[in-house]
């Protein structure tokens, strides 16, 4: 029911999620075995009983005092919930701290009130408990009335208040401690710290459940702005047993957060929503979610997401809980497989400590110990506003985290640290590295930081003296730790010594102090290779090798490096070059984080190749041309620049034709020489005759209409459309400030999104460009958007339609989820769907059946425009629906004639016989390869796929196609290939391996070795219902065969830099280059897969059957086949997790999204089958 994945080699104590490893209790036993159901609201029922002021002892609304003054009232509420079947009742102690009770004058009665509350609850729970069905008491602990992140109260004062209450609750006998309705994440951390202190004080370990409240229903954040990603990262590091959500909103508003928690937290998950959003009626707060509605949401959360504890909060009554019990008590939660995540967080959002081939950048400028005096002067001068401005500037320049060091010899480091964090910690969206050698300074900082901090750093210079102080702090305050490769002998100089120290620290931190491996970050340190000292000449090589080995030998841990140490003492420009090249080399070997001034790092494609090469020679101590250091210093003597421009003279055209010419031809200037005009100058000329809005709606849109007609007639190619769209966008941006905002200036609004789990956005972005430049307001939500976000945006912007995009097969299901949610919520937005994975039949038949409104299929961007024009024009919506209805009837008739047997057989296909031979494996296991020749890879690019599918070359005839390919597209391809090869934008890497296997029915069983035949993974594939009745398992020897078969796996990638660059190109408006680069990077990944498949066939000794021409290989003219998940023969994307467990492609920067799709986008995985009969087929 509830399962958390452990990575290879992890000990049970490493995995803080296993409830049995935390604390054994009947409560947690129940959580493991079944759905546990909490009670509902306490306050609502108290109000219904209308207690008098006398009942409150003169302090109105002090509900906790009723435990003493009216125990029978509280007892009755408990009875109502237990009678309908609740498993857990919460003590009436939500405001039971001295902070809250002190506002009523009862601060001296904290222990008395909390003890009375527990005894009451225990008494009633005992009456309903049976050996088969025990009832439990949760000690309720609320958020108090103070927000420590805003300075309302100090860490220690809040801790003391919580400690008093929690100790009383634990000593008196609660079954679980429930920290709930947390609004400030720092308050939540204080409460968790107090909880463990209270358990120690009480001498009793009890389960700990922590629930945050997402106040903002619109964007799903806590009161002070913490999103669910950050809350999960911050809380998951603690040894809490259950994490969840309660209060503020109803279950509908919680959906996305619940889904995220279940996919990303290693803890059990609880959900206790309000009975909908609160509404004010005649001065009264009312909740309108019905019991049946609450039960249905909980059923969905349990069965789809794996939630294990449910119940209610404000507005929920015994009737609500009764409905939940009847609907959910017998359900089995969905199985969750969650690994601990290596991430940090600010007060607002999380930062993964791995960015797919790019380093997490840690700004180094906020450090008083560097040679630069600026920050030290700011600290000494208490110029906190300037320090805040600096921190914001660093984030804006690209830093993901801030390293903060306030040490100045003989001065108050602790005071400086506290004062700066008071200003910065809640005002900057970047996590903080606490950089100090003093344990008391570290502790002060950790008490100030709301997010998940990183301690910088520990080492073994004094043995375990410093670690014995700092590691318990990391555990107590929920921080990650940087560990330096220094021991009692000093800084390690060789890779062997660096790795040995890392192994020693890893063992100490995880086994003695309970630090999770994912929260350890190793700094293998580098010394300057620029001093000429002999012992430091190999510093770069040794550090790079240490990074590679740490990533290989401690795969759950992360690495970090102060990059600029490598170049200390060199001239400014040569330092930047060396730092930039060294950083790239380190990242290639697995470096996760870099402490660096990122504004002084150059992308390699901006550095001349000769400079890159001589830097590499220095790093790797290439002495072929003499002393590499002397050669390096002598090399840097000058810089060159060049620029050219030219244009065309069409100055005699009327102004309208000039503008249309610019748009149709995608040109931002017209004319040449002294007659050359910018687009803006032509627009100014036109404004002498036209109003801005008239100019857009007549001249400019007429030009775009011509573009659409040319494209539809196959007389204009997609890159030209993008050029035109870019000109139109620039023209509109220039005119908009000059227009009066009048009603009707927009034709309509559409919300566009790539659906959840899909990272492909080229099609959606093209639709954005086309629609935006044809008078529509486009709300482009981006990639990986869940249903709730899409629907909320449509409501917020009063959209006329929703546009859903997706490239992958799995995306079609996500589109269905959006449509099902629209139907469930009785919303009536027309939905337009597009993307490579879709067919018209699926959209206008399958999806349409899910929805009472219109669902349209758009096979290109202009189809989307035509649908929007139909929907927004007079009588257009009716005509659009008539078209839609005719299509649906056609599909219904076809479906009636094509019904098939739904029974799935596991019987082997009769047309597949055993393979004539089984290849001998070159090795068993996995390897990583990064040594590739771009020329070889590029030779495997499928030009048809590149030109037609990616670059969307359309022509009226084969002759025109061939001419355009030779004259235009091949030259573009060759130039772009040279550019990406030289710049490092593409970084080909492969993880692949071979294993013994057998089949059983529709399963393929993968073994660890020929000797043991121990099953390590099992893949289940679908079988054709008709015809040959093929299944992939048919191509392998069955269990019981005297022969042991073999199988191969591969994951290939060209890295993440191409995705980042295409994003930059799109955002900067360079749409043409965006299209070309995106297409080439995708097809290069496919080419790499094809190339590696041939290499694998060579290693297996079966390449003799290969066709001689590469183009024939695209049509499977070779022995065997390569199958990828998400395609018809193996459609189950979830099985990517099994392949990843075998190959560990994280080492090459490839990961899975929470919907099992590969990132970076330019990556692909495959199962390699050697059987001669194995070819593509459709199930």
Ordered by start, the domain boundaries in the chain are: 2-337, 343-632, 655-738, 748-897, 925-932+986-1056+1085-1169
CA dist., res. 488 & res. 485, Å (int): 10
CA dist., res. 269 & res. 1018, Å (int): 28
For the cut 70, the answer to whether the pLDDT of residue 883 exceeds it is no
For the cut 50, the answer to whether the pLDDT of residue 805 exceeds it is yes
| Angle CA 905–909–911, to nearest 5 | 160
The secondary element (H helix, E strand) that includes residue 1049 is strand 1045-1053
CATH architecture, domain defined by 343-632: Alpha-Beta Barrel (3.20)
For the ranges 406-410, 710-714, 821-825, the lowest mean pLDDT is seen at 710-714
The pLDDT of residue 505 is 98
CA dist., res. 691 & res. 740, Å (int): 10
The pLDDT of residue 356 is 53
Nearest CA among 469, 467, 509 for reference residue 488? 467
The pLDDT of residue 780 is 92
Q: Which two tokens stand for residue 1037?
A: 């020897």
For the cut 60, the answer to whether the pLDDT of residue 4 exceeds it is no
**pLDDT tens digits, residue range 666-724?**
888 888 777 788 999 999 999 998 888 778 767 887 887 777 666 555 445 454 566 77
Give residues with Cβ within 8 angstroms of 1145, minimum separation 6.
991, 1051, 1053, 1151, 1165
Report strand pairing: 490-491 vs 486-487.
Answer: antiparallel
Q: What's the whole-number mean pLDDT along residues 943-949? A: 87
Work out the pLDDT band at 766, boundaries 50, 70, 90. Answer: low
Average pLDDT, the chain: 86
CA dist., res. 1157 & res. 754, Å (int): 13
| Angle CA 334–337–342, to nearest 5 | 140
For the cut 60, the answer to whether the pLDDT of residue 895 exceeds it is no
Topology, domain 655-738: 1.10.1240
Work out the pLDDT band at 836, boundaries 50, 70, 90. Answer: low
The residue count of the chain comes to: 1179
Q: Which has more pLDDT, 1067 or 495?
A: 495
Nearest CA among 108, 39, 103, 99 for reference residue 74? 39
For the ranges 224-233, 603-612, 778-787, the lowest mean pLDDT is seen at 603-612
The pLDDT of residue 659 is 92
Topology, domain 2-337: TIM Barrel (3.20.20)
The pLDDT of residue 793 is 92
Domain 925-932+986-1056+1085-1169 coded CATH 3.10.196.10: yes
Rg of the chain over Cα atoms, rounded to whole angstroms, equals: 32
SS3 (DSSP) at 35: coil
- Strand partners for 1017: 1006
The pLDDT of residue 98 is 97
Contacts 24+ apart (CB under 8 A), 142-146: 142/94, 142/95, 142/96, 142/97, 142/100, 142/180, 142/181, 143/180, 143/181, 143/182, 143/183, 143/184, 143/187, 143/213, 144/95, 144/97, 144/99, 144/100, 144/187, 145/99, 145/100, 145/103, 146/99, 146/187
Query: Which residue bears the tokens 């405001």?
Result: 95
- How far the first Cα of the chain sits from its last, in Å, is 31
pLDDT above 70 coverage of the chain, percent: 89
**pLDDT tens digits, residue range 277-334?**
888 776 677 889 999 999 999 999 999 999 999 999 999 999 999 999 999 999 999 9
For the cut 60, the answer to whether the pLDDT of residue 879 exceeds it is no
Query: Which residue bears the tokens 């989307």?
Result: 864
Q: What's the whole-number mean pLDDT along residues 967-988? A: 91
Nearest CA among 255, 179, 171, 174 for reference residue 214? 255
Work out the pLDDT band at 644, boundaries 50, 70, 90. Answer: very low
Q: Which two tokens stand for residue 229?
A: 């990603």
Q: What's the whole-number mean pLDDT along residues 611-617? A: 92
2-337 against 343-632: fold identical: yes
**pLDDT tens digits, residue range 505-562?**
999 999 999 999 999 999 999 999 987 788 889 999 999 999 999 999 999 999 999 9
CATH superfamily of 748-897: Cobalamin-binding domain (3.40.50.280)
Q: Which has more pLDDT, 773 or 386?
A: 386
Work out the pLDDT band at 1004, boundaries 50, 70, 90. Answer: very high
The pLDDT of residue 757 is 53
The pLDDT of residue 903 is 40
For the cut 90, the answer to whether the pLDDT of residue 733 exceeds it is no
Side-chain-side CA neighbours of residue 65 (13 Å): 24
CA dist., res. 889 & res. 67, Å (int): 66
Query: Which residue bears the tokens 């993008």?
Result: 722
The pLDDT of residue 605 is 53
Query: Which residue bears the tokens 């102004």?
Result: 655
């Amino acid at each position: 029911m509830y399962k958390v994945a452990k990575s290879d080699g992890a000990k049970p104590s490493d995995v803080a999620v296993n409830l049995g490893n935390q604390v054994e209790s009947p409560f947690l036993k129940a959580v493991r075995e079944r759905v546990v159901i909490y009670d509902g609201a306490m306050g609502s029922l108290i109000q219904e009983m209308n207690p008098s002021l006398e009942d409150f002892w003169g302090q109105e609304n002090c509900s906790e005092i009723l435990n003493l003054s009216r125990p029978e009232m509280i007892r009755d509420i408990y009875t109502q919930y237990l009678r309908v079947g609740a498993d857990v009742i919460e003590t009436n102690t939500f405001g039971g701290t001295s902070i809250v009770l002190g506002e009523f004058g009862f601060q001296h009665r904290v222990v008395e009130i909390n003890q009375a509350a527990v005894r009451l609850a225990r008494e009633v729970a005992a009456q309903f408990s049976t050996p088969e069905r025990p009832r439990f008491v949760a000690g309720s602990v609320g958020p108090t009335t103070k927000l420590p992140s805003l300075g309302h109260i100090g860490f220690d004062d809040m801790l003391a208040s919580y400690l008093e209450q929690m100790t009383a609750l634990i000593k008196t006998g609660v079954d679980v401690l429930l920290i709930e309705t947390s609004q400030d994440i720092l308050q939540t951390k204080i409460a968790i710290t107090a909880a463990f202190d209270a358990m120690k004080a009480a001498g009793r370990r009890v389960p700990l459940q922590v629930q945050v409240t997402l106040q903002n229903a619109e964007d799903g954040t806590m009161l002070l702005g913490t999103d669910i990603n950050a809350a999960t990262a911050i809380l998951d590091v603690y040894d809490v047993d259950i994490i969840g959500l309660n209060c503020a909103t109803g279950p509908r508003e919680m959906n996305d957060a619940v889904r995220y928690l279940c996919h990303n937290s290693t803890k059990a998950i609880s959900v206790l929503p309000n009975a909908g959003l609160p509404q004010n009626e005649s001065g009264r707060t009312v909740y309108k979610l019905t019991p049946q509605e609450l039960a249905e949401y909980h059923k969905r959360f349990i069965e789809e997401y794996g939630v294990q504890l449910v119940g209610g909060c404000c507005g929920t009554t015994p009737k609500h809980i009764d409905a939940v019990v009847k609907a959910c008590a017998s359900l089995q939660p969905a199985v969750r497989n969650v690994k601990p995540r290596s991430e940090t967080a600010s007060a607002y959002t999380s930062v993964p400590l791995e960015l797919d081939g790019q380093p997490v950048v840690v700004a180094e400028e906020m450090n008083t110990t560097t040679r630069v005096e600026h920050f030290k002067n700011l600290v000494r001068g208490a110029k906190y506003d300037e320090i805040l401005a600096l921190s914001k500037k660093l984030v804006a320049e690209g830093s993901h985290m801030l390293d903060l060091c306030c040490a100045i010899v003989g001065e108050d480091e602790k005071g400086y640290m506290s004062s700066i964090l008071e200003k910065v910690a809640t005002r900057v969206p970047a996590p903080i590295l606490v950089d100090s050698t003093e344990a008391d300074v570290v502790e002060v900082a950790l008490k100030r930081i709301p997010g998940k901090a990183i301690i910088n750093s520990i080492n073994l210079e004094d043995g375990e003296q410093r670690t014995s102080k700092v590691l318990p702090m990391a555990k107590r305050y929920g921080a990650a730790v940087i560990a330096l490769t220094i021991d009692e002998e000093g800084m390690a100089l060789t890779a062997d010594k660096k790795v040995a120290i890392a192994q020693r620290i890893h063992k100490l931190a995880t086994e003695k102090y309970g630090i999770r491996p994912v929260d350890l970050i190793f700094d293998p340190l580098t010394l300057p290779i620029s001093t000429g000292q002999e012992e430091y000449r190999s510093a770069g090589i040794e550090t790079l090798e240490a990074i590679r080995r740490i990533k290989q030998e401690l795969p759950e841990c992360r690495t970090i490096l102060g990059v600029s140490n490598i170049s200390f003492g060199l001239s400014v420009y040569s330092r930047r070059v060396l730092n930039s090249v060294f950083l790239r080399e380190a990242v290639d070997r697995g470096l996760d984080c870099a402490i660096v001034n990122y504004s002084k790092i150059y992308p390699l494609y901006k550095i001349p190749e000769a400079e890159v090469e001589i830097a590499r020679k220095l790093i790797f101590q290439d002495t072929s041309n003499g002393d590499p250091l002397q050669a390096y210093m002598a090399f840097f003597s000058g810089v060159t620049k060049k620029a050219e421009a030219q244009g065309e003279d069409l100055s005699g055209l009327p102004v309208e034709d000039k503008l249309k010419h610019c748009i149709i031809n995608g040109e931002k200037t017209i004319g040449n020489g002294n007659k050359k005009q910018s687009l803006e100058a032509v627009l100014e000329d036109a404004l002498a005759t036209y109003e801005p809005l008239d100019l857009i709606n007549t001249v400019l849109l007429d030009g775009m209409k011509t573009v659409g007609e040319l494209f539809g007639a196959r007389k204009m190619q997609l890159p030209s459309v993008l050029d035109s769209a870019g000109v139109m966008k620039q023209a509109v941006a220039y005119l908009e400030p000059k227009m009066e905002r009048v009603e009707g200036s927009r034709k309509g609004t559409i919300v566009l999104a790539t659906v959840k789990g899909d990272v492909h956005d080229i099609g959606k972005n093209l639709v954005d460009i086309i629609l935006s430049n044809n008078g529509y307001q486009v709300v482009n939500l981006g990639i990986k958007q869940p249903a709730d976000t899409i629907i909320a945006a449509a409501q917020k912007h009063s959209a006329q339609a929703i546009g859903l995009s997706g490239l992958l097969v799995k995306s079609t299901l996500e589109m269905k989820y959006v449509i099902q949610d629209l139907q469930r919520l009785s919303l009536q937005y027309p939905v337009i769907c597009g993307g490579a994975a879709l067919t018209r039949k699926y959209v206008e038949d399958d999806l349409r059946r899910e929805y009472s409104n219109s669902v349209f299929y758009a096979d290109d961007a202009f189809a989307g425009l035509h649908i929007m024009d139909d929907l927004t024009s007079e009588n257009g919506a009716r005509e659009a629906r008539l078209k839609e209805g005719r299509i649906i009837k056609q599909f219904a008739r076809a479906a009636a004639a094509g019904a098939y047997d739904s029974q799935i057989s596991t019987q082997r296909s009769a047309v597949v016989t055993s393979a004539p031979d089984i290849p001998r494996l070159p090795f068993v296991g996995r390897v990583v390869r990064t040594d590739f020749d771009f020329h070889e890879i590029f030779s495997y690019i499928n030009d048809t796929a590149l030109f037609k599918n990616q670059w969307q070359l359309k022509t009226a005839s084969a002759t025109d196609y061939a001419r355009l390919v030779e004259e235009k597209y091949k030259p573009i391809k060759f130039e772009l290939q040279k550019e990406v090869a030289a710049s490092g934008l593409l970084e080909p890497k492969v993880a692949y391996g071979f294993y013994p296997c057998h089949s059983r029915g529709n399963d393929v069983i993968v073994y660890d070795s020929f000797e043991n035949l121990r099953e390590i993974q099992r893949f289940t594939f679908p079988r054709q219902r008709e015809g040959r009745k093929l299944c992939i398992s048919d191509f392998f020897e069955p269990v019981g065969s005297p022969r042991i078969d073999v199988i191969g796996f591969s994951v290939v990638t060209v890295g993440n830099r191409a995705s980042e660059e295409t994003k930059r190109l799109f955002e900067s408006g360079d749409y043409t280059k965006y299209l070309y680069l995106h297409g080439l990077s995708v097809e290069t990944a496919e080419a790499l897969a094809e190339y590696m498949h041939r290499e694998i066939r060579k290693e297996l000794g079966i390449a003799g059957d290969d066709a001689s021409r590469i183009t024939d290989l695209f049509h499977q003219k070779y022995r065997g086949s390569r199958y990828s998940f998400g395609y018809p023969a193996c459609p189950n994307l979830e099985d990517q997790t099994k392949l990843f467990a075998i190959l560990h492609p994280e080492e090459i920067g490839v990961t899975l999204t929470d919907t099992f799709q590969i990132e970076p986008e330019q990556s692909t995985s495959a199962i390699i089958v050697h059987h001669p009969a194995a070819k593509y087929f459709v199930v």
